Amino acid sequence: MEEVFNLHDLDYGPTAGVEAAYDILVRSGRTPSLDYFETSWDWDGTAGDALEDMACLIEMQGGRARHDLIEKVLACHERDGRIHHTTDVGKASWCGGQNSHVSCLHGDKKRSGGVTKTG
């Protein structure tokens, strides 16, 4: 996925929302702590499904998906009509103390990911 993001001039990394929320909490006089824990998931599907997923992720990041570029990358990694990739994700949580208007804040932090061949 990182390769596809780079082809669209997008950074593949943490979403700005978690860091922005943390900064807002600090500026409002709170003392949040971000606790990160890491996990990953495997994805397996058809090249068409992978194309749709990647196009959606690119558009969610404010880009305009170039299906021709995505298809070229997927073709390099496709095996028997299928694509497999693993995404590593870190989760950030913040929970407020007494008198907090926000009980918990959660967000994703993409660390890395790659398309790999199955087999």
Kindly tell me the burial class for residue 45, based on how many C-beta atoms sit within 10 Å of its own C-beta (0-12, 13-18, 19 or more).
middle
Q: Looking at the 3D structure of the chain, how many domains does it have? A: 1
Q: Which domain holds residue 57?
A: 2-116
pTM of the predicted protein model? 0.60
Structural contact between residues 30 and 87, judged by C-beta atoms closer than 8 angstroms: no
Helical H runs in the chain?
A: 2-7, 16-27, 47-60, 67-77
Confidence of residue 104 (pLDDT cuts 50, 70, 90): very low
Position 23 scores a pLDDT of 85
Task: Pick the more confident residue, 103 or 70.
Answer: 70
Position 9 scores a pLDDT of 92
Task: Pick the more confident residue, 37 or 7.
Answer: 7
Structural contact between residues 7 and 57, judged by C-beta atoms closer than 8 angstroms: no
Instruction: List pLDDT tens digits, range 17-72.
Output: 777 887 888 898 887 776 666 778 898 999 999 999 999 988 888 899 999 999 99
